[in-house]
């Protein structure tokens, strides 16, 4: 994964009250970096799911970083929550229809090129990667 170019990076601290603002910032940033149509929609929704999880499960907020490198768009969401037990098991399988939670990470995984999770007792970092040509997903 390419590291951010500090001159092109956008960073924003967020909490519950700023989730709508975050979604708009992500959309504008992604549009400026040539994500369009369904790819734009999917990236914005995927990031929204991860930021919402950070608020809900990761201590009430977090930090969002967006950057572009090598024709790809990256988003890193970091929180200070308790971490995820067994992070490699989360979000790979569809959630049962009668479940009241658990769809966000699965949906995010479906709608970006790559999603990685780094987690521990000091928090979780989720990094999403997208390009103008997204993989075909249902």
28: which 2 tokens? 């504008």
Q: Distance between CA 34 and CA 47 in Å, rounded?
A: 17
92: which 2 tokens? 């790979």
Q: Distance between CA 125 and CA 100 in Å, rounded?
A: 24
64, 76 in Cβ contact below 8 A? yes
Whether the full predicted model's pTM is greater than 0.85, yes or no, is no
For 28, the 3-state DSSP assignment is helix
Backbone angles phi, psi at 47, to 5 degrees: -65, -40
pLDDT in tens, 68-125: 988 899 999 999 999 877 656 555 555 656 655 667 888 899 899 999 999 999 999 9
């Amino acid at each position: 994964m390419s590291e951010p170019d500090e001159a092109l990076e956008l960073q924003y601290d967020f909490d519950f009250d700023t989730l709508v603002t975050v979604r708009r910032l992500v959309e504008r940033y992604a549009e400026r970096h040539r994500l369009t149509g369904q790819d734009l929609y999917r990236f914005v929704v995927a990031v929204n799911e991860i930021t919402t999880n950070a608020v809900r499960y990761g201590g009430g907020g977090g930090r969002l970083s967006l950057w572009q490198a090598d024709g790809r768009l990256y988003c890193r969401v970091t929180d200070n929550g308790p971490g995820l037990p067994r992070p490699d098991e989360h979000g790979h399988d569809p959630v049962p229809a009668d479940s009241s939670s658990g769809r966000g990470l699965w949906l995010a995984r479906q709608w970006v090129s790559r999603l990685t999770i780094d987690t521990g007792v000091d928090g979780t970092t989720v990094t999403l990667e997208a390009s103008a040509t997204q993989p075909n997903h249902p």
